[in-house]
Amino acid sequence: MKNNGSVETGCLHCNVRLSSVFNVLDQEQTQELCAHKSCAVYKKGQYVFTENGLPNGLFCINSGKIKLTTTGYDGKEQILRLVKSGDILGYRALLSNERYHCSAVTLEDASICIIDKKYFFDALAASPKLMFEVVKKMSHDLKTAEDHIVSLSQKNVRERMAEALLFLKATYGFEEDNQTLNVSLSREEIADYVGTSTESCIRLLSEFNTDKLIQLKGKKISILNLQKLIQTANIEN
């Protein structure tokens, strides 16, 4: 899959080097890497890469939110991960030299760099620190995935729905009002993360709304009663 975004010369507002895994690089290493990256702007809903495509670089999110989804045999989508500004994207297939097993779609307009495969591997080999950062990222994603497995396996839809809202809060945080989730997902997308039907998702959100756990305004979800939401999610902390 080719880079779908429109190229943005100069890459002035690229802040990848400041945040995320690349903060362990020194100035020289950073410049070397920057020399072999290109930045692009993606509109909401665009694919950054698609299932079965071959990776030819590492994506770094400058701005924007991205969902990693895979398609089940019957066409139903599953949201596997949610990615945000400062995160790296597409590292798994790249590192294990495989095809992408999921697609990356922007949830809003995004600015994304791609670092050339060869230079990224060189940088990894040259900097064990960088390698450890990437490993930590993967380790975190593995833990998150396994937590999700336990949740899907042992919790009912209501608990998972509450958990999903807490996950969105943990991932993207709140807007300035300190209670509205800083991400807009359709009910179907939320269902695709929770592992339920769209109808059940809508029903439960309405119910949480009625019970004053959350407040719904279109796609915007505000968390009104965090404590009760945690209780509903049945989380042990």
Partner DNA sequence: CTTTTTTTATGATTTTAATCATGTTTCTGC
Partner DNA sequence: GCAGAAACATGATTAAAATCATAAAAAAAG
Residue 218 touches DNA, criterion: CB under 7 A: yes
User: Among 11, 24, 138, 216, which residue interacts with DNA (rule: CB under 7 A)?
Assistant: 216
Q: Phi-psi category of 58—alpha, beta or left, where left has phi over 0 and alpha has psi -120 to 50?
A: beta
The window from 7-15, 33-41, 97-105, 205-213 that contacts a copy of itself (CB under 8 A) reads 97-105
Per partner kind, with CB cut-offs from 5 to 8 A, the member of a copy of itself, DNA, none near residue 211 is none
Among 49-57, 97-105, 115-123, 186-194, which window interacts with DNA (CB under 7 A)? Answer: 186-194
77-83 β-sheet, strand order: 47-49, 103-106, 66-71, 77-83
Closest approach of Cβ 194 to DNA, in Å? 8
Tokens of 174: 């709140």
Give the interface segment with DNA, choosing from 17-25, 53-61, 101-109, 155-163 (CB under 7 A). Answer: 155-163
Least separation in angstroms between CB 76 and DNA: 8
Give residues with Cβ within 8 angstroms of 12, minimum separation 6: none
CA separation (Å) from 10 to 14, 119, 148?
Answer: 9, 19, 40
By CB under 7 A, residue 212 contacts DNA = no
Asked if 231 interacts with DNA (CB under 7 A), we say no
Produce one character per residue of 155-180: b if its CB has 16 or more CB atoms within 10 Å, e if not: bebbbbbbbbbbbbbebbeeeeeeeb
Nearest Cα to Cα of residue 181 among 193, 172, 190: 172
Q: Of these, 171, 200, 222, 234, which contacts a copy of itself (CB under 8 A)?
A: 234
Q: Does 95 bind a copy of itself (CB under 8 A)?
A: yes
The identity of residue 130, as a single letter, is L
> 105 and 45 in contact (C-beta within 8 Å)?
yes
Closer to a copy of itself by Cβ: residue 7 or 142: 142
Q: Pick from 103, 76, 57, 23: which is nearest to 192 by CA?
A: 76
**Contacting a copy of itself (CB under 8 A), which of 50, 119, 182, 195?**
195
| Largest Cα span, the chain | 56
Answer yes or no whether residue 78 interacts with DNA by CB under 7 A.
no
Q: Which parts of this chain interact with a copy of itself (CB under 8 A)? A: 70, 72-74, 76, 78, 80, 92, 95-96, 98, 101-102, 124-125, 128, 131-132, 134-136, 138-143, 145-150, 152-155, 195, 234-236
